[in-house]
Structures are given as C-alpha cells and as structure tokens.
Amino acid sequence: MRESRRLTLLALLVVGGAGLLQVAARRTPAAPTTSYRVDAATAHRDHVPVLPAGVRAATFRFAPGTAPGDRDAFLAAVADARPPARRLIDLVDGLVDVRVGSTGEAKAIGLTESNGDRYVVTVDFATVARRFGRRGIDRVVLHELGHVVDFAIVPQDVRTRLDAGIPTGYGCDEGVSGACADEAERFAESFAKWATGDIGADLYIGYKVLPPSPTLDAWGAPLAGLGRG
C-alpha cells in the first residue's frame, strides 16, 4: 500500500528561448491507494491483491465532454508506446479517469492524482501541443501513465532495481529536478523514455532526469517481464 499522491508533472518549459521554469512534485496525504500485482505468486509474497480481471478488461474513462480530438490524441500516444509498455498500460487503464484541460497548477502541464482505488490523469493538451507538438504529447501522456503503472502494479524490489539504473543527474532546481528528483518522478520520466524510445534530447519537459543505463531496452527488461514468469 502506498500513500495517496498528487503529483504535478513535467515542467521544464522553455521561456523566451532561454531559461527553464520548473514545477514541483507535491504529495497530499489522503486515503491509501490500492496496490496490486499481476501474478499470484508476487501478490502472495507482497500481501496485496492480484489485479482483478474486471480491471484488466476495462479501459480509460474519459471525462464527459472530452473533445474527440483530445481523446484520439491521448489514445494515439498510448498506441505509439512500445508493445511491452503498452501491455502494462493496458493492464491498469481500467483504473484511470482522464481529464483534458488545465491542471490547476501553475506551470504544470500534467497531473496525476491517486486516492482510493482510482487514478485521475489530467493533461493540458493546449499548452503541450502549442509548445512541443506530438512528441511532447506522447511524453506527457506516457509520463503520467508511468505514474499509474508504478503506483498500481510495480513491486518495490523491481522499483528499487530500476531506480538503481537511472543516473543521479545534475543540479537541483527548486529542490525537485536533476539530483533532487524523487523516485516517483525518476521512474515516470524513464518509463516515458523507454515507452517511446525517445530520450528527450531538445525536449524541454521534465525533471532533468538522465536516460537510464546501460540502454533503454536493458533498463526496461524488468518491466517487460512483469507477470511473464
């Protein structure tokens, strides 16, 4: 069981061609978020439920009034992910409510909130598309869904192994980026890079997390293997 979280996402936004604005990740204590495992043996070991069949069979819930184009853009970002990443998203998408619009957080272009057994993902497509285009949309969507995968189904031992493969990075803008990025943001950043195959060169979104090593494929192997054993 992990503490319920509210995470503002992704902002190292370019301002006037020089300088970066950064958004902090924040946690708001609330009811615990349910954690699952995708196989019975790991669920038994970790004393948590197996991901229910009904969740596996369900899919995203989009907020009423979501524009068809926004819905299509969100789903296209998921479809663009490499197959092992898409499989993990397909396992947890039944837990996700999607909202498109302002996050309500200054400078934040994405937001993941968890409370109880569901996750609310908000993406500011208007800002992302204007500043970063399709590449930015893919990064934001998959970063946010990386948070859901992490919180919902990744065991702590796998999380620790993955974090060990992410370089520390440099700097500590506003106490949240680079060397100061926390485990949740390091995972989400790296998940998005692994899912897209895009390490983010010249894409000024994120928490200054360096690409995982030795390669994206090698780093993501434990994720690709979840529930396969």
Over residues 154-168, the pLDDT tens digits come to 999 999 999 999 998
pLDDT of 21 > 50? The answer is no
The CA distance from 143 to 58, in Å, is 21
* DSSP 3-state percent helix, strand, coil across the chain (nearest 5): 45, 15, 40
The two structure tokens encoding residue 125: 């497509």
Q: What is the pTM of this model?
A: 0.87
| 11 touches 131 (CB < 8 A) | no
Could you give the residue ranges of the DSSP H alpha helices within the chain? 40-46, 53-57, 68-80, 83-92, 125-153, 156-164, 183-196, 216-224
Residue 6 vs residue 148, higher pLDDT: 148
**How many C-alpha atoms does 20 have within 13 Å on its Cβ side?**
19
Nearby residues of 98 by Cβ (< 8 Å), 6 or more positions away: 60, 61, 62, 63, 66, 71, 74, 121, 122, 123
Residue 220 CB: number of other CB atoms within 10 A? 22
The CA distance from 13 to 203, in Å, is 9
For the chain, the residue count is 229
pLDDT of 199 > 60? The answer is yes
Q: Which of 10, 4, 5, 7 is nearest to 23 (CA)?
A: 10
Return mean pLDDT, the chain: 84
Average pLDDT over residues 98-116: 86
Helix H or strand E encompassing 7: strand 6-9
Tell me the pLDDT band of 14, cut-offs 50, 70 and 90: very low
The two structure tokens encoding residue 145: 């869904």
The two structure tokens encoding residue 112: 């993941």
pLDDT of 124 > 90? The answer is yes
Q: What type of residue is 203?
A: L
End-to-end CA distance of the chain: 23
The two structure tokens encoding residue 44: 């038994």
Average pLDDT over residues 2-31: 36
pLDDT at 11: 37
User: What percent of the chain has a predicted confidence (pLDDT) above 90?
Assistant: 62
pLDDT at 57: 96
Average pLDDT over residues 48-72: 96
pLDDT at 229: 60
pLDDT at 192: 95
pLDDT at 25: 32
Average pLDDT over residues 47-62: 96
The CA distance from 71 to 108, in Å, is 20
pLDDT at 114: 85
Nearby residues of 105 by Cβ (< 8 Å), 6 or more positions away: 8, 23, 111
Average pLDDT over residues 44-71: 96
